[in-house]
Structure 1
């Protein structure tokens, strides 16, 4: 199960051969500015393995997003997250700096939202965003989400939660 191709993007499952691209993305201080720290190559490998487990268990996870010409753009997809003690389906996205500011995250997130609406038995889709990450919050708003809550995970910074019914 993959989101439909968009005007500029295609989706595919992550594989170990994506380690260099994913380590570059998740290790980029600008991309990871709202995370505790950029990820190491070992953490990027664990990220790929986590998504492969998600594909096996759920049929979805975060996918590699590429241009139609095959250029690496980032990752985007659907994962289960704990929010205030409840398990919720989140749409998440990371876009390389070279592709930021062009509506790519919105285009990819909308394709993932559509997949959730059409193929996954879930009533709600969320986005979890750092309170200072206005760009990511705008992406969630553009695909139909509205701020509904704050999440206070133990030992971590507060996050805001945007949601929509599906």
Structure 2
């Protein structure tokens, strides 16, 4: 097998990385408390499908840790450079209208909103997904009413592809190709 095969390229470690202001580390059991607090915040969760209980967040964590084991990439816990929990972000497989897609997703603690962190992490994840993992494309699924996340994807060169209904909510799907 030569080093240019997709299987070889996907073996690149993306367990952790950093941006100018954030440190990302592979999601693990140690992050449960921070995730529970994040998912219990109604403002943070309004565009994530609603507030999630501690039990639901624990299942979410298990599913996302298994995603890492199966695919070699997934969700990261995010910290600011001073070590404070900032949120979560990731690249993951998701079923959209019976099609396996790979999406980027992110959620930040409320105190970090409107400071450019979402754009910073979206740019980093897009680079990782398209360049390091050699994925053919990435999508972002955004509630129609979530103008801030729509602008983040547009600034990251994602193109609006379609509007659809997902879990009873009107969403738009953006895509970027490698």
Does TM, scored on the shorter chain, surpass 0.5? yes
With normalisation by structure 2, the TM-score equals 0.87
Distance between the aligned counterparts of 1:4 and 1:22, measured in 2? 19
- Counterpart check, 1:161 vs 2:173: yes
- Counterpart check, 1:152 vs 2:165: yes
Equivalent in the alignment of 1:61: 74
Residue of structure 2 aligned with 1:103, choices 116, 128, 140: 116
Deviations 1:104-159 (A, max 9, x none): 01111111111011122321111000110111111111111121112334x52231
Partner SS, residue 92 of structure 2 = strand
With normalisation by structure 1, the TM-score equals 0.93
**RMSD of aligned Cα (Å):** 1.4
Deviations 1:87-120 (A, max 9, x none): 1110000000011110001111111111011122
Displacement after TM superposition at 1:34 (Å)? 2.1
Would you identify which runs of 4 or more consecutive aligned residues in structure 1 move more than 6 Å? none
Equivalent in the alignment of 1:37: 50
Distance between the aligned counterparts of 1:62 and 1:144, measured in 2? 21
The number of residues matched between the two structures is 165
Equivalent positions of 1:74-89 (< 5 A) are 74-89=87-102
Distance between the aligned counterparts of 1:17 and 1:125, measured in 2? 28
Residue of structure 2 aligned with 1:21, choices 23, 34, 37: 34
Equivalent positions of 1:87-126 (< 5 A) are 87-126=100-139
Distance between the aligned counterparts of 1:91 and 1:8, measured in 2? 19
- Counterpart check, 1:137 vs 2:150: yes
